[in-house]
A and B are shown apart, each in its own frame.
Chain A
Amino acid sequence: DQQVKQNSPSLSVQEGRISILNCDYTNSMFDYFLWYKKYPAEGPTFLISISSIKDKNEDGRFTVFLNKSAKHLSLHIVPSQPGDSAVYFCAASGRSGGGADGLTFGKGTHLIIQP
């Protein structure tokens, strides 16, 4: 039973356009959400996070939106660049003690930026 779902295994976007990666979760105890980026032969690298008390967090080209009522979050990358081609993982935790002490991950979405 997956608590964090990324329903798109892959996404292809043209360079310069907006990339939107989606993530859904089922555990209402999750209150902290993170996005990680992973290149082949490397470990996941932290990208951006959002607490459940916010609905938006922005860092340069990356913005994460959280819709708690829908249990949905999304990562927007604009403009998309060739170096953004990687696998993106959505992760969640219950910082207030509602879940495991580690992170619960989705399966990942492989983002491909087309020149």
Chain B
Amino acid sequence: ETGVTQTPRHLVMGMTNKKSLKCEQHLGHNAMYWYKQSAKKPLELMFVYNFKEQTENNSVPSRFSPECPNSSHLFLHLHTLQPEDSALYLCASSQELNAIQYFGAGTRLSVL
């Protein structure tokens, strides 16, 4: 148990659906991150939030929309995704930017 909880663990959605991924951290951290891991690729940083403010958007398509209502919660809203968006989506948090990051177990997303 890392103190970072992601829900759901698995998600199957059609290309016209709208869904959201949720991440919650119980570590009192100030920074939160979304990463994507596709098959045979390294983890790719998507978004970074520090004290609820977005500090990094790594050229992610607009069909992925992050939301950070407070330092403990991070959402990734998904709409009109493509099959190539199927991947493992990982959330992480850290005490401050560029400190050690602690990861959730991830959401395995399949887009049909």
Which A residues are within 8 Å of any B CB, using their own CB? 2, 4, 32, 34, 36, 41-46, 49, 89, 91, 93-95, 100-108
Interface residues on B, range: 20 to 34
**Chain A residues in 8 Å Cβ range of B21:** none
A94 to B58, CA, bound (A): 15
Which B residues are within 8 Å of any A CB, using their own CB? 2, 4, 6, 31, 33, 35, 40-45, 48, 50, 55-56, 58, 90, 92, 97-98, 100-106
| A97: nearest chain-B partner, CB-CB | B98
Residue from A43, A49, A107 within 8 A of B2 (CB atoms) = A43
Q: What is the minimal beta-carbon distance from A103 to any residue of chain B, in angstroms?
A: 6
Q: What is the minimal beta-carbon distance from A86 to any residue of chain B, in angstroms?
A: 14
A95 to B98, CA, bound (A): 6
